[in-house]
A and B are shown apart, each in its own frame.
Chain A
């Protein structure tokens, strides 16, 4: 039974990754455009070269990149490359590989996302629990409508408002970037503080906009848990209110809440990519933005595939952890 679940989950993972790779391969080819020819002609036009040699150059490159072989051979080669996480070279910054460019920006995104998602999860869940708890202070109830409203707003719009208010008007935080231009990334205290200062506003915009989601889910779970018999029993046994709240109510309401973590991941990530663009934060979203502006095809493909891989992998890990976290889940065959 357990093994069955794990196998099914792994199969889904492989299918999703394969589907992403296949989309990545076929979508651009459906449009009938030729990125290499486009790029060469564009460069030739920019440099004012004579256009005579272009046809030969295109053929030369197509041979080099294997674009003259039959489609299915290209497809298999592509799948093989992707399996080794080899996405080729960036067209716009030629000698650099796609993998190298991504390796620079991924740590920024992962750092920002990991902290904000965890913080939003913890704070949102506690708020949600307090909202449903009859003995919590009165002011908590007033927090709910604004939180809900914030959760309906896209992250990056909140980001725009925060930049204007806190960075431009009040000058409390830097306007853009991940660190002060001119400094070099190094493992020093000063640099770490600089990074922290730059990441507060982007983090805040993700945090504020996603708190409501967690609070809403937790509130629903708490209401269900409060109606359970064991809560009435524990209360009748004369347990302290805080024991009731933390060990009886929260502990049981929190577990289903972790399920939403996996579901929310893709959504949070899409939002965070755009927040990065708004803040020019040096993460993968900004890299994607520049890749789109320069029409750097291989880089766009590499980023899309890597993010899909990351999200799917994280979902897989979460799905495999739930049964360990929550003994009530057995995952029987439906």
Chain B
């Protein structure tokens, strides 16, 4: 395992980046007073100093505390929406690819139509419709409502290819039931793909949630990373040169995205031994 990790550099880089982000959020919660993330808990518009290492924003939040509170929230939205997306996607993909026929046509048609429409726009429409009181979890559910489309398509094609392999036919000939074949023959071989799809879905969900937040449909009371960027544009922090306000969320988000991207590239290599580098 360790020897393989040494060869699969992008997996290691990705895991390290995410670990760093988690470490920051975890240790920060222990070492720093997170109640400073509430508005009016510090003097506003201060550049970084010993008292407030990342400075404070216009509404008097301590930005270090905001980052410590916001990072887990943003990751939580991504993980929840990504998990729901992959779970629904796997079920739909398995039924669609394994049973075929009308079910397959309907599911494939839905996915084709859904993927043609830019996701962000439907999410905007949805978020506007339920806007009254969007909490962080509701935000995740809104994002999850469309996050199953892409997993369904990719997993379906993977199942189709696994389905034709010889060991499935052997299992069928030896009298295994459909359920046995799905759970004991297809699923174990699907797992690496599911992991890669999950990582991709989490990234897409975080991107969608930040997009919604930047355009002004996020959970106003929550201090997620995307909301911080929304406040940056709302108060035109750039025109005042308040770099300490937007740099921390940008750096953390970039670390998360590059980390997820590298992990999914690494998992891809794990799942497709043919693209593995020679020893």
Contact with B along A158-169 (1 / 0, CB 8 A): 001101100110
**Please, which residue of chain B has its CB at the minimum distance from the CB of A301?**
B125
Whether A153 pairs with B238 at a CB distance below 8 angstroms is no
Say yes or no: A154 contacts B207, CB within 8 Å. yes
Contacting pair A277 B233 (CB below 8 A): yes
Alpha-carbon distance between A20 and B216 when the two chains are bound, in angstroms: 22
Q: Report the nearest A residue to B258, measured CB to CB.
A: A152
Does A54 count as interface, using CB distance less than 8 angstroms? Answer: no
Secondary structure of the B side of the interface? helix
Q: A154-B210, A164-B246, A270-B118 are in contact. Are A292 and B257 (CB under 8 A)?
A: no
- Complexed CA–CA distance, A304 and B214 (Å): 17
Q: Which of B125, B210, B238 contacts A175 (CB under 8 A)?
A: B238
Shortest Cβ distance from residue B86 to the other chain A in the assembled complex, whole angstroms? 19
Which residues of A258-306 are within 8 A (CB) of B? Answer: 266-267, 269-270, 273-274, 277-278, 288-289, 292-293, 295, 297, 300-301, 304
Q: Is B173 engaged at the interface, CB distance under 8 Å to the other chain?
A: no
> Measured between alpha carbons, how far is A278 from B243 in the docked complex, in Å?
15
Q: CB distance A154 to B257 under 8 Å?
A: yes
| Beta-carbon contact of A289 and B215 below 8 Å | yes
Question: Which chain A residues lie closer than 8 Å to B119 at the CB level?
Answer: 266, 270
Q: Are B211 and A304 in contact (CB under 8 A)?
A: no
**Known contacts A157-B250, A160-B229, A175-B239; A289 and B128 CB within 8 A of each other:** no
| A269:B250 contact, CB within 8 angstroms | no
Q: How many Å from the CB of B78 to the closest CB on chain A?
A: 13
B254 nearest in chain A by CB position: A153
Our pick among B113, B125, B243, B261 for the contact of A304 (Cβ within 8 Å) is B125
Determine whether the beta carbon of A293 is less than 8 Å from that of B216: yes
With beta carbons under 8 angstroms apart, the residue of A19, A24, A277, A312 that contacts B215 is: A277
- Nearest-CB residue, chain B, relative to A278: B233
Is B37 engaged at the interface, CB distance under 8 Å to the other chain? no
With a cutoff of 8 Å between Cβ atoms, the chain A residues found around residue B188 in the complex are none
- Is A179 interfacial (CB 8 A cutoff)? no
B249 and chain A: residue at smallest CB distance: A157
Number of interface residues of A (CB under 8 A): 50
Taking the complex as formed, is B278 at the interface, i.e. its CB lies under 8 A from any CB of chain A? no
Partner of A292, one of B116, B215, B243, B253: B215
Per-residue contact bits, chain A 51-81, to B (CB 8 Å; 1 contact, 0 not): 0000000000000000000000000000000
Residues of chain A within 8 A (CB-CB) of B80 are: none
B117 near A149: Cβ-Cβ < 8 Å: no
Chain A: minimal CB distance from B255 (Å): 10
B18 shortest CB reach to chain A, Å:
13
Rounded to whole angstroms, the CA-CA distance of A156 and B211 in the bound complex is 9
- Whether A44 is near chain B, meaning CB under 8 Å from some CB there, is no
Say yes or no: is A138 at the interface (Cβ < 8 Å to chain B): no
Are B258 and A308 in contact, CB atoms less than 8 angstroms apart? no
Given contacts A30-B129, A160-B232, contact A266 B113 (CB under 8 A): no
Q: What residues of A have a CB within 8 angstroms of the CB of B246 in the complex?
A: 160, 164
Partner of B122, one of A23, A28, A152: A23
Q: How far, in Å, is A212 (CB) from chain B's closest CB? A: 10
Partner of A270, one of B121, B233, B262: B121
Q: Indicate if the CB atoms of B121 and A168 lie closer than 8 Å.
A: no
B241 within 8 A of A: yes
Question: Which of the residues A23, A30, A269, A300 comes within 8 Å of B118, measured between beta carbons?
Answer: A269
Report A's interface with B, CB cutoff 8 A.
12, 15-16, 19-20, 23-24, 27-28, 30-31, 33, 148-149, 151-154, 156-157, 160-161, 163-164, 167-168, 175-176, 266-267, 269-270, 273-274, 277-278, 288-289, 292-293, 295, 297, 300-301, 304, 307-308, 311-312, 315
Write 6 A-B pairs (CB below 8 A) sorted by A numbering: A153-B258, A163-B238, A164-B246, A266-B115, A292-B216, A295-B131
Chain B contact residues, CB within 8 Å of chain A: 109, 112-113, 115-122, 124-126, 128-132, 207, 210-211, 214-217, 229, 232-233, 238-239, 241, 243, 246, 250, 253-254, 257-258, 260-262
Give 20 A-B pairs besides A27-B125, A152-B260 with Cβ atoms closer than 8 angstroms: A12-B116, A19-B117, A27-B129, A28-B129, A31-B131, A31-B132, A151-B261, A154-B253, A154-B257, A157-B253, A160-B229, A160-B250, A164-B238, A167-B238, A168-B241, A266-B119, A278-B214, A292-B124, A300-B128, A312-B117
